[in-house]
Copies of this chain bind each other. A is one copy, B any other.
Amino acid sequence: MREAFHHDLAKITDELVEMTRMTSSAITRATTALLDADVHLAESVIEGDRAIDRVRENLDELSFDILARQAPVASDLRTVVTSMRMSMDLERMGDLARHVAKVARLRYPSSAVPPELRATVLQMGQVAERIVAKTGSIIAANDVVAAKELEQDDDEMDALHRHLYASISSGSWSPEQAVDLTLIGRYYERFADHAVSIAARVIYLVTGSYDAIAQEDSDLTDEA
């Protein structure tokens, strides 16, 4: 029983890590699509999101199956339930990458990002990519130290996000540009928030405590 359980658990971990890979690819390509106004790349991200959803569905079935067949208790039960939540976070991260790609497609052949803000959006994309790559390692290794450090990357994202909003609010953009950039900023920020949630869940699994890391939806108005 225990052996079967640990085999199933390893499978869950593998699939979660695979989801981080797919999500990393999605956000990276979405950022490029946005900055280069590449509609084909945008389409590929939008289409590719279904594959992420399918991995999530399979993972859910596997988890459900484990609960039904093996009736785990204590930390084993906690691990399965928590994995189901991590897969929800990762699926949502895939959705957010798709949203970024949709803005790119909507404004094609123009870019939704004006030249003055390209560097900021590029950096948000890079931080997002780094955060999800780290999330994969954190899940694979149950790495609490790295999980706690992820908050720093999220702080970097928050700083970029604040910079972006300040630039939008103080600049002379058209309302349409302001709408696009506001949504783009929100998508990257939420992407990072979900990664931080996953890190918090790993910390919870290993230490039993949720306090070690903040889980709030980063909120721009907090800083204002």
Contacts and interface: CB of A to CB of B under 8 A. Distances in A.
Interface of A (DSSP majority class):
helix
Given A74-B68, A77-B64, A221-B105, A175 B186 contact: no
Contacts of A81: 64, 67, 84
A201 interface: no
B168 A175 contact: yes
Interface stretch (A119-127, A135-143, A177-185): A177-185
B179 A103 contact: no
A14 interface: no
A95 interface: yes
A219 B99 contact: yes
A86 to B, nearest CB: 12
A56 interface: no
Contacts of A165: 179
Nearest to A181: B179
Contacts of A176: 169
Contacts of A84: 81
A96 to B, nearest CB: 9
Contacts of A175: 168-173, 175, 178
24 contacts: A64-B81, A67-B77, A68-B74, A68-B77, A85-B88, A88-B88, A95-B217, A99-B217, A99-B221, A102-B222, A103-B221, A105-B221, A106-B221, A169-B175, A169-B176, A169-B179, A170-B175, A171-B175, A173-B178, A175-B178, A178-B178, A179-B182, A182-B182, A183-B186
